[in-house]
Structure 1
Amino acid sequence: MSEMRVHRFVTNDLTVRAAAVDATQVVTEMQGILRSHPLATIGVGRAMVGALLMAGQLKDGQEVGVLLRGNGPLGSLYAQASYEGHVRGYCPHPQYLAPHQDDALNLRKAIGFGQLTVSRQQPFQRQPHNGTVEMVTGEVGDDIAHYLHQSHQIRSLVSLGVNLDRDGVVQAAGGILIEVMPGVEEDIVEKIQENADNYKENITHALLAGTPPHELVVPYLKGLPYTEIPHPYELKYFCSCTEERVKGALEVLGGQDLQEMIDSQKPADVTCQMCGREYSISVAELQELKDLLHKNSMH
């Protein structure tokens, strides 16, 4: 079975659950699609890893969206992941470079102050359930831990990492999520914190050193008997864009803008910013959209 999946665990007394993932492949794919520079790569990559870890603890067909929206120059970071291991990510300013070398990798400063919104979507549910909290650091992992505590009363340990080489290319990306269920005795919480304090190795350094992802949780769960839960879904960078959705987006432009596109006698070429897929909507199809828009306005 592929190691490129979310590994799930639960302690034998069911008081703690954990997840770990090596997301290097999908984060690398995101970097290629967005052509992202280091800050956006690290930020979106961490958001993707966090979304994968949370989604892996859900049920079939469910999805998690992670949106960090700040007042800094990077603007926002977004990632969406499903229980089945599908994930995608986006940043509106992927080529942003910090003006000073000292801030080249300062994600906190690049994202600024703002809010974290986590959405949970179930199959056949029209609208997702959203939970919003203030960002505490802008480093993504701390913000997700804060969200889990504020919104679900779950104390957690979240470690997310994206490692780049000197050229800014992804070398490793992954993370762990340890969640303590509500009402658990304090000594278990203290044991996990003690383990974390004694373990100094960075997650991505461990991956680069050859540590398999299912062993990433070992130092954190030391002294707590646990079992791995089957979760055989291989990670895949996946986008839900379709030609119909592209047409729906063009329809929102309105009749005047559509008419200008028709008058140019050129097809509308649209590229999905999430996956890089290209769509070409012909002049005849643009006319159909405008006619439909006009027809609907008469009702």
Structure 2
Amino acid sequence: MQDTLVRAIGAYVNIRCMAAVTTHLVEEARRRHDTYPTATVALGRALTGGILLGGLLMGDERVNLQINGRGPLRSIVVDADAYGHVRGFVRHPHTQMPLREGKISVKEAIGAGTLQVLKIQTNQKEPYRGIVPLVSGEIAKDLTAYLVNSEQVPSAVALGVYIEKDTRVAASGGFIVQALPGAQDREIAIVEENIAALPPCSEMILNGLGPRDIIARVMEGITIKFLEEKEISFQCRCSKDRVIRIMIALGPEEIRDILVKEGEAKASCEFCKQNYVVTGDELKQLLEEIEAMPESPEP
């Protein structure tokens, strides 16, 4: 079944909710990065959080999450857009922590640190930047703290990843619910009670619930208007053309040096682990094209 994101709003109340099932995209990230279980859960929660925050964007906006901690994972970086595409990596993918009461402790793997959120618009020179200290290290509560403190929107975030004994991702997903201006205390209390009674997101997904079902559980007692359902996926923006543009930016002297020392240029994308090779013949052609370019006039 394809991973999906669903957006909904209360038909008569100012509360919105989004839920996503991200099992396949998190499994793809695990496979690409060869993550051990602790790193898989941490990266999976961050990817799911990125997808959910991306669902709040419009047009060509992007959101970038950077979790930096003092624990063995060190950092997690996630990049998502408004179209349901997400990519990400963890600095030390082979991190594995001892189980605590039978559960993976992402908090210990990340340690004390910060969550930085960048919102990037193509027509803006500087992105919006919000930084908050990690309040939990389990990622969901940290995203909640960011939304409440930096964006001033009362919110609740839940994220979950379930790993099989063979380390494959069996279930992954989450939700965001937000009280918009005009939401009444009674309506907020209903949602809070619903959330308190919910099992973990990964358990609901293991039991066959999809995003619409999760939203129905979160918003039980409130009439729901579903707004959108879309497919989501792990998708990177890297390409060989981007690598070649980087080579051009290095300049002819650096390209000549690579030709002499290496004979070809190699690059690997941190986000998706795709490897690229620019052959010696391609480098020579680049040099010819650069040298044929007219010189820029002096100012």
Tell whether the structures are fold-level matches, with TM greater than 0.5: yes
CA change 1:38–1:262 in 2 (3 A) is same
Partner of 1:145: 144
Q: Give the superposition deviation at 1:264.
A: 2.6
1:125-140 aligned at under 5 Å gives the runs: 125-140=124-139
Partner of 2:271: 274
**Cα distance in 1 between the residues matched to 2:255 and 2:274:** 22
Partner of 1:220: 218
**Cα distance in 1 between the residues matched to 2:94 and 2:205:** 27
Question: Contact (CA 8 Å) 1:267, 1:280: kept in 2 or not?
Answer: yes
Identify the range of structure 1 (78-87 vs 54-63) with the bigger mean alpha-carbon deviation. 54-63
**Cα distance in 2 between the residues matched to 1:31 and 1:209:** 22
1:32 aligns with 2:31: yes
2:188 match: secondary structure: helix
**Cα distance in 2 between the residues matched to 1:111 and 1:255:** 42
Q: Give the superposition deviation at 1:224.
A: 1.4
CA change 1:133–1:33 in 2 (3 A) is same
1:1-299 aligned at under 5 Å gives the runs: 4-98=3-97, 100=98, 102=100, 105-199=104-198, 201-231=199-229, 233-249=230-246, 260-286=257-283, 288=286
Question: Contact (CA 8 Å) 2:34, 2:93: kept in 1 or not?
Answer: yes
Q: Give the superposition deviation at 1:12.
A: 1.4
Identify the range of structure 1 (262-271 vs 61-70) with the bigger mean alpha-carbon deviation. 262-271
Equivalent AA in structure 2 for residue 21 of structure 1 = A
Question: Contact (CA 8 Å) 1:80, 1:87: kept in 2 or not?
Answer: yes
CA change 1:290–1:151 in 2 (3 A) is farther
Question: Contact (CA 8 Å) 2:99, 2:105: kept in 1 or not?
Answer: no
Question: Contact (CA 8 Å) 2:252, 2:290: kept in 1 or not?
Answer: no
Identify the range of structure 1 (261-270 vs 248-257) with the bigger mean alpha-carbon deviation. 248-257
Question: Contact (CA 8 Å) 2:56, 2:82: kept in 1 or not?
Answer: yes
1:84 match: secondary structure: coil
Equivalent AA in structure 2 for residue 9 of structure 1 = A
Pairwise CA RMSD: 2.8
Q: Give the superposition deviation at 1:265.
A: 4.5
CA change 1:247–1:142 in 2 (3 A) is same
Identify the range of structure 1 (161-170 vs 119-128) with the bigger mean alpha-carbon deviation. 119-128
2:77 match: secondary structure: strand
What 5-or-longer segments of structure 1 have no aligned partner? none
1:122-178 CA deviation, whole Å, 9 max, x = no partner? 243343211111111111110000000011211111110110011221111100111
CA change 1:240–1:187 in 2 (3 A) is same
Question: Contact (CA 8 Å) 1:8, 1:57: kept in 2 or not?
Answer: no
Question: Contact (CA 8 Å) 1:19, 1:177: kept in 2 or not?
Answer: yes
Equivalent AA in structure 1 for residue 239 of structure 2 = T
CA change 1:276–1:112 in 2 (3 A) is same
**Cα distance in 1 between the residues matched to 2:65 and 2:131:** 10
Question: Contact (CA 8 Å) 1:251, 1:290: kept in 2 or not?
Answer: no
TM-score, length-scaled by structure 1? 0.87
Runs of 4+ in structure 1 deviating by more than 4 angstroms, as ranges, are: 100-104, 248-260, 284-293, 295-299
CA change 1:130–1:292 in 2 (3 A) is farther
